[in-house]
Chain A
Amino acid sequence: MLGDQLLNLHRVAPEVLLSVAGIVVMILDPFVGPTRKRWLGWLAFAGALLALFSVHIAYDFRGPAYDNLINTDMFSVFVHAIVILASALAILGSIDYLEREHIQRGEYYALVLFATAGMGILAGANELVTAFIGLEMSSISTYVLVGFRRRSATSNEASMKYFLLGSFATAFFLYGIAMIYGATGTTYVDRVQAMLEGAGTIPPLAMLGLGLTFVGLGFKVVIAPFQVYGPDVYQGAPTPVTALLSSAPKVATFALMLRIFYVSFGMVSEFWFWTVWISAVLTMFIGNLAALVQNNVKRMLAYSSIAHAGYIMVAFAASTTLGVVAVLFYLAAYMLMKVGAFLIVTHLGQQGETRLELQDYAGLGSKEPVLAACFSLFLLSLLGLPATAGFLGKFFAFQSALDSHSAHGPAIIWLVVIAAINSVIGSYYYLRVLISMYFVEPAKDYTPSSVTPALGVAIFVAAVGTLYLGLLPAQVLELARTAADSLPLH
């Protein structure tokens, strides 16, 4: 009995460590003077790092935990690694940011850690109500984080918007779970699959449930037509929070979507294929076209992350094992380049986040050559230039989609062609930033402050990761493959 409990704990080691670290930060917070608050940030970072290593423990003891509520399989381990790395980088990027904005508080770090724990649960959940708890944990923490710049109107607006619409969306998800339970008599991901296979057909109530789930989760990953809130929230949130928000919850929620759509409802993939298809096309076009006309770099990157969710949906539409591999690889690549880009925006925003416009980046190439080079790397990776992670992400996404051509017919080929055209449209707005940084004369009266060590390390890690995944992706790809194989697909 005790052995079982211990085993269970091993399997959720990352969540345990994250939560413990969060609680310790909360407890210590009142005892730490205002000038020393930044040490709480380092503590939280240490906790995240520890959790990142503990992913290996979870991997060593992988298997179902707590009566199969959570399934710590390779898939879950892979997603955990991405999510926790994202939040570790975000914490590193936050320490000096909070100092600069005079909002250095312990609960910030605690909330980041709790949110990450929630995302971890989301990634491993084998049962929908457990998944809901994970979703709520991560959502509620991020509602607060988005509004952390209390004195800023945009931050408050973003928080309010995110909270109201987000609660609405989670309610949809909950209804979806209820419907699925009503139709199949279970909320376990794998049992739903067995149930549907036994019945040989999908009951209408389950269809409805799946639809509602799609709405709820689609909101969290910011895909069309549920994307409207995204840019406002991303723009209003403190930039390190945007870095976290645009990467980790998306990664975790996509993981849950893969479990629900591929495992539970994999049998009826032709049923949801067109939903995903249409959503992917809309997401890509809306994200890219809207990003074209943005002059605010933060908002532009927000739209770009919508567009990238669209590319991920292209791989998602494949509904094959290769599709899972492509989605997972894309998520890893996407996390690195997006967090990297937002961390640089964090730094260049300067005090009060006032320098976010395109013209504020003028001449950065000559003023801060290294920083500009890193930013170019992230942007070019987002654009999909070969030898960067973003290219291979797109490459595998397109490849997996085309590979499923026998199952889906010409529709999937068109989807890839549309995605390809979109990535050309998208290249324009990334290039605009490069134009501003390199081709335009720098403004004389302004020089950005130098990069702090913590932020520098975070950016460096993201940059190296982006290059590593772009040049030597074999190892991560192999991990993604084993992760995909560990899912009991239909």
Chain B
Amino acid sequence: MLTVITFLPLLSVLALLLLRSDDHVWIRRIALAASLAEFAVSLLLLRGFDSSNAAYQFTEYHHWIGEAIHYHLGVDGISLFLVLLTTFLTPLAILCSWESIHENVKGFFVSLLVIETAMIGVFLSLDLFLFFVFWELTLIPMYFMIGIWGHDRRIYAAVKFILYTMLGSILMLVAILWLYGLSGTFDLEGIQQYLASVRLSHITELLLFGAFFLAFAIKVPLFPLHTWLPDAHTEAPTAGSVILAGVMLKLGTYGILRFCLPLFPDAAEQMAPLIGVLAIIGIVYGALVATVQTDLKRLVAYTSVSHLGLVVLGIFAFQTTAIQGALYQMLNHGVSTGALFLSVGMLYDRRHTHDIKEFGGLATPMPVLMSFFLFVALSSLALPPLNGFIGEFLILIGTFLNHQVWASLAASAAVLSAIYLLWAYQRVALGEVTVERNRTLLDASRRERIILVAVSLAILFMGIASPLITRRTEASVDNVITRFHASLNLPQSASIPSWGVRKVRAAGKAVAARGQR
């Protein structure tokens, strides 16, 4: 089952390769059909998924290389919805490139589908070797995507993107090998059992944690490692930005949640203050920089720095509710920011610019597109009852319990995001039409409406039906955090009384329930 989900896009790549490269119509159709089929197949996961079970499900386990390296796939509450997010966004990315990609159409859709396979592989791998293979495999197609179909400064952005990420991941490889040397296995569960039974020396654990965390922090990206992101996002074609912001950044936060916390709890606990502070700086800094951008796409790119900072903060609160929120926020950010990039891409298709000055009063010529833009922006700035609110609220309430100051500072994100998004909306859409040629712009086409309706439904669904999702993620998150606290060698800090955990969890449920009403 999981093998099918992982490799179905790759299989369709083979089909694409058989087509003539100037047969653009069928290339697009087959790519879309494949990605829709992939989405349908991945939805089947929901049916068989046992939400009360925290263990990995649908596991597949085969020998691959030697005794130590296995082909081991599995899904749990943490990865389940990230896979769905990937399969949901890919068809949209294909649809949004329907007309905007003219050159080397085949190569474009091949890259897109290879990225999909690689990303799903990252989420599903339970073997560190396999994980690393997929992790690195995401890079090259994305590199081509930015470099070939990107905008003016695409080569600079592509090289910056790939070198940054490689530097992080190569040290992770060393750490993976080191872990293998210690434990004799690449299997995640095997390593976890080993680390639970043996106590690493303090410095070893810190170094290993550092190597893993650096790779993930670059991907997230955590301040001050974020500098590749605005360039890559701005220069990438729309589909590239959607995939990059929508899913690829989550590879980092997913990695932290899946590897850093369970494998190196002591180091994580020890580094948490530093990481928390960096996350808060990222939240505020990203928001402030976004406010002053004159380039609409760059503005959206910087919101990612801010939102992902919040996710990292939630994870390092070591708190079931906060991590539930972080996971939820990962999904939200994928959908909402993906949607923002889609809308910005639609504007770009019409005017071939991202400069806010070139827009203004667009609500008059294209009311439908702008309404959707507003809707998406509102979801991104966490307006209840839309999806963003649930995630942000859970993170803040969970963090508040341990770190009142952190939570208070992070809460400023809510205000700041309202400022930059609404202000941007005002400048783009409201008032008189400032640029004469904008009067004749066409409103959203049928294809674009399909895209916008799809994301808006997802936003609405995640806003009001959150228990459907949190119910399935809860057991796994709970498991992570229980094992985390159980394996801490340091004395537990007194500020995490268990009643508080329970109370916050209840509060989180209440919020979700209220959203449902």
Give me the interface of A with B, judged by CB distance under 8 Å: 366, 369, 380, 385-387, 391-392, 395, 398-399, 402-403, 405, 413, 416-417, 420-421, 423-424, 427-428, 431, 434-435, 438-439, 473-474, 477
Contact = CB atoms under 8 A, between A and B. Distances in A.
A424 B170 contact: yes
B104 to A, nearest CB: 7
A402 B181 contact: yes
Nearest to B181: A402
Contacts of A392: 65
Contact of B148 (A395, A427, A439, A473): A439
B163 A427 contact: yes
B155 A474 contact: no
Nearest to B150: A439
Nearest to B64: A474
A176 B281 CA distance: 62
B177 A416 contact: yes
A133 B23 CA distance: 60
A420 B147 contact: no
Given A385-B136, A424-B166, A428-B163, 16 more contacts: A386-B137, A391-B136, A395-B177, A402-B174, A403-B181, A416-B174, A416-B177, A420-B170, A421-B167, A427-B162, A427-B166, A431-B163, A434-B147, A435-B158, A473-B65, A477-B66
B132 interface: yes
Contacts of B135: 386
A423 B172 CA distance: 13
Contacts of A474: 64-66
B159 interface: yes
B147 A417 contact: no
Given A399-B180, A474-B65, A438 B133 contact: no
Interface of B: 21, 64-66, 104, 129, 132-137, 139-140, 143-144, 147-148, 154-155, 158-159, 162-163, 166-167, 170-171, 173-174, 177-178, 180-181
A428 B158 CA distance: 11
A427 to B, nearest CB: 6
Q: Which of B65, B66, B180 has the most CB of A within 10 A?
A: B65
B159 A402 contact: no
A430 to B, nearest CB: 11
A395 B144 contact: no
Nearest to A387: B133
A405 B181 contact: yes
Contacts of A403: 181
A279 B95 CA distance: 54
Contacts of B139: 385
Nearest to A406: B181
Contacts of B66: 474, 477
| 8 tightest A-B CB contacts, nearest first | A386-B133, A439-B147, A420-B170, A386-B136, A424-B167, A402-B181, A399-B177, A420-B174
A477 B65 contact: yes
Contacts of A369: 21
A31 to B, nearest CB: 48
Given A387-B137, A438-B148, A439-B154, A421 B181 contact: no
B155 A398 contact: no
A420 B132 CA distance: 14
B162 A417 contact: no
A418 to B, nearest CB: 10
B136 A417 contact: no
A280 to B, nearest CB: 15
Majority secondary structure of chain B interface residues (helix, strand, loop or mixed): helix
Given A385-B136, A403-B181, A439-B147, A431 B159 contact: yes
A423 B170 contact: yes
B155 A435 contact: yes
Nearest to B164: A424
A431 B162 contact: yes
Contacts of A402: 174, 177-178, 181
Contacts of B132: 386
19 contacts: A385-B139, A386-B132, A386-B133, A386-B135, A386-B136, A387-B137, A391-B133, A395-B173, A398-B173, A402-B181, A403-B181, A405-B181, A423-B170, A424-B167, A428-B163, A431-B143, A435-B147, A438-B144, A438-B147
B158 A439 contact: yes
Contact of A424 (B133, B158, B163, B181): B163
A417 B174 contact: yes
B141 to A, nearest CB: 11
B194 to A, nearest CB: 16
Contacts of A421: 167, 170
Contacts of B137: 385-387
A392 B133 CA distance: 10
A171 B139 CA distance: 48
A366 B171 CA distance: 35
Contacts of B143: 431, 434
Contacts of A431: 143, 159, 162-163
Contacts of B177: 395, 398-399, 402, 416
Nearest to B147: A439
B512 to A, nearest CB: 39
A402 B129 CA distance: 16
Contact of A420 (B154, B163, B173): B173
Q: Which of B21, B163, B173, B178 has the most CB of A within 10 A?
A: B173
Nearest to A386: B133
Nearest to B21: A369
B140 A385 contact: yes
Nearest to A470: B133
A456 B137 CA distance: 27
Contacts of B173: 395, 398, 420
A424 B171 CA distance: 10
Nearest to A440: B155
A378 to B, nearest CB: 14
Given A395-B177, A428-B163, A438-B147, A420 B136 contact: no
Given A438-B148, A474-B66, A399 B181 contact: yes
Q: Which of A391, A428, A435 has the most CB of B within 10 A?
A: A435
B159 A428 contact: yes
Given A427-B163, A439-B155, A477-B65, A366 B104 contact: yes
Nearest to B178: A402
Contacts of B154: 439
A403 B179 CA distance: 10
Contact of B174 (A398, A434, A473): A398
A488 to B, nearest CB: 24
Nearest to A394: B173
Contacts of B159: 428, 431, 435
Contacts of B133: 386-387, 391
A380 B136 CA distance: 11
B268 to A, nearest CB: 22
A367 to B, nearest CB: 12
A445 B174 CA distance: 47
Contacts of B147: 434-435, 438-439
Contacts of B167: 421, 424
A427 B158 CA distance: 13
Nearest to B63: A474
A417 B174 CA distance: 7
A462 to B, nearest CB: 19
B12 to A, nearest CB: 18
A458 B113 CA distance: 30
A275 B206 CA distance: 30
A383 B157 CA distance: 19
Nearest to B174: A420
A388 to B, nearest CB: 10
Nearest to A422: B170
A423 B132 CA distance: 16
Contacts of A386: 132-137
Contacts of B166: 424, 427
A211 to B, nearest CB: 31
B201 to A, nearest CB: 12
Nearest to A401: B177
